[in-house]
Amino acid sequence: MGFLEELSRKLAEGVDRARFEAEKFQRVTAIQSEISTLRRQLDGKRLEFGDRALELFKAGAIQSPTLAAILREIEALQSKLTLKEEELRHVQGQVFIEPTTRHAQNVPVSIEPSSSPTPASLPPTLPVAGGKTCPSCGFQMPQTAIFCPNCGLRVG
């Protein structure tokens, strides 16, 4: 067998192998698609079954402590979902308010830690015991502040 005949045979084998792999890939993809469709249908029927079982349980047609526990869990999850949806609407409705003056300086706010730290629950704009007010923007800051954290004015 000559070199060209051997080369031709190997090319034909390669083409046959590529055709086989392509057809195999198509069959695998088609079967995976059918499996996904069946799983979605199965999940839909399970959901429909569960909804009907809940209706019957709530109507008193089914008595089961297990279903009662599952129903309580469903109701708790529904309450959490409702709260999260409300939180999402709130966050989506927030609008950025551009400050009137902005300084992009990275400067220390105070030289030493405050002797009486402000409560973490209070926003920094609320009056702080022993604090001082920025003469430029009115921001309430710790007594030891040397720069206003809001507008950057040197106050100390």
0.85 cut: is pTM over it? no
* Residue 129 pLDDT class (50, 70, 90 cuts): low
In a domain, 43, yes or no: yes
Q: What is the mean pLDDT of residues 75-85?
A: 93
Token pair recorded at residue 119: 């409560």
Q: What H or E segment, with its residue span, contains residue 23? A: helix 3-58
Confidence label for 118 from pLDDT (cuts 50, 70 and 90)? very low
Whole-number pLDDT of residue 125: 47
Answer yes or no: do 117 and 141 share one domain: yes
58 and 77 together in one domain: yes
Count of CB atoms within 10 A of residue 5's CB?
9
Whether residue 19 sits in one domain with residue 80? yes
Number of domains in the chain: 2
The mean pLDDT of the chain is 83
Confidence check: pLDDT of 112 > 80:
no
Residue 98 is assigned to a structural domain of this protein: no
Q: Which residue stretches of 59-131 are H helix?
A: 65-93
134: domain range? 104-156
For position 123, what pLDDT does the model report? Answer: 46
